[in-house]
Amino acid sequence: MNLKRFLCALLCALIAVSGMAMAEDPKDQRIAELEQQVAELTAQVEEYHRKELVAEFDGGEVMAADAQAQYAAYEQMYQQYGISLKDYGMEDTVKQQVATDMVEEKIVLFMADKLGIALSDEARAQFETEASEAYESTVKMYYEQYFKESYPVEAEGLAASAEYLNGMGYGYDELLDSHIKSYLRDEVYNHVTSGVAVTEEDVKASYDELVKGDEENYKDNPSAYENARSNGTLIAWNPEGYRAVKHILFKFDEDQSARYADLIGKKDALNTEKTAEPEEGVEKREDAVIDGEIAAIDQQLDALYQELMPEVEAAEARFNDGEDINALIAELNEDTGMTEDGYAVAANSALWDPAFTAGAMAIPEIGGISEPVRGIYGVHLIYYMADIPAGAVPLEELRAEIEATALDDKLEKTYSGQLDAWKQELNLKIYLENF
């Protein structure tokens, strides 16, 4: 018997005893005393019950034990990545998020019922099938990974796997419940946001905000700008001095990369030796001697790059003979990270190999290619695609993406606003102190 049930039983007993005493005391006085006692015990019951909660609203509650279990799951997840919530001062933040997420789900499901949103027989049958298939697949996977060696008989191993998953709260019932709740949440979202559309004013406001943010982020930060373009981020403002380039990378193989790294390491060490003060008792070598060793390493580097040059020169000749650069790139390029938009390069670029930047900026005309550029990954042939106009990108060039962004923002604000309104209407209270 939990505390709430115990106190309710005690309250009933008190009422019974007080009722028997009414025969001896004045009726009105005993009723007043009883009502006072009932009120006091009711307040105690409510107070003790509240300590078992992390949230409550007019229609539901979130038990502290359930929230603590969810928090423990998050804690375990972070620990897998070597992160301690306590050490990082994230305990309160995660607890707040857990409480918020759990109570918002309950409010949404409560409102689904109030709005008449229900699960059809057809949808339930579909979710039952999906949950069953997912559960069986997960049981099988856990059996193969964790139980097969200990259970030579497959049926026994599958049973052990199922028992483990059920004990961890990943059983069929939990999967089905998850499918149903997800469906109801989506239906509530669709109900709240139905009819939401963006106006031209919304689009213009979203565009202006993006332009302003991009200028602030990229004006004096070449690395941020270049990373954004390489990642396919929507950009509405470009800094000055950039050109778009593509390249064909003739990449060192594994052996060549190892030799290159070794030679560069030795060369760096020699350059450091030239400028550094020698250790006590060690005679500093003549610069001419060191320079001679550096020159020998440079010769070895030249020889290493020469191993790639036959392919480079063949590609260069094909381009000069009129072959399409994009076809050559598709056939020969070994840079798997390059997109159709290529790379944005400027004289002050921060992201690229300096040799690549210098080679790209040395191309005199749009449509031309660089001389073979020796870089840290191999040899590049760089193609000058176009200049990137500085300043704001015209709205019409971005309209489709901006409209989609503006609509997403408006949908989210509409839904969040309705959720906040429901919280207020339902008198939501959160008790983080009970975590």
**Which phi and psi (to 5°) does residue 193 adopt?**
-100, 0
| Contacts of range 50-53, beta carbons closer than 8 Å, 24 or more positions apart | 50/431, 50/434, 51/431, 51/434, 52/2, 52/3, 52/4, 52/434, 53/431, 53/434
Distance CA 190, CA 196 (A): 10
Distance CA 347, CA 362 (A): 10
Distance CA 243, CA 386 (A): 6
Give residue 25's pLDDT.
Answer: 54
Assess contact for 188 and 117: CB atoms under 8 A. Answer: yes
- Pick from 373, 365, 383: which is nearest to 325 by CA? 383
Quick one: DSSP state of residue 60?
A: E
Q: Which CATH architecture has domain 241-252+308-389?
A: Roll (3.10)
Distance CA 263, CA 294 (A): 10
Give residue 411's pLDDT.
Answer: 97
Give residue 5's pLDDT.
Answer: 55
CA angle 416, 75, 158 (to 5 degrees): 100
The secondary structure of 272-295 as a DSSP string is HHHHSPPPTT-PPPPHHHHHHHHH
**Which phi and psi (to 5°) does residue 6 adopt?**
-60, -45
CA angle 220, 222, 228 (to 5 degrees): 115
Domain ranges of the chain: 3-85, 115-194, 241-252+308-389, 254-306
pLDDT along the chain (435 residues), means of 10: 51 51 62 74 69 92 92 88 90 92 96 95 95 96 93 93 90 94 96 96 96 97 93 94 97 97 96 87 89 96 97 97 97 93 94 96 97 97 97 97 96 97 96 88
What is the four-CA torsion angle of 255, 256, 261, 266, rounded to 10 degrees?
A: 100
Give residue 21's pLDDT.
Answer: 47
Residues 6 or more apart from 215 whose CB is under 8 A from it? 237, 392
Assess contact for 79 and 72: CB atoms under 8 A. Answer: no
- Pick from 96, 4, 98: which is nearest to 51 by CA? 4
* Angstrom distances, CA of residue 139 to CA of 131, 135, 158, 162, 196: 12, 6, 6, 6, 42
Distance CA 37, CA 92 (A): 38
- Pick from 85, 66, 90: which is nearest to 75 by CA? 85
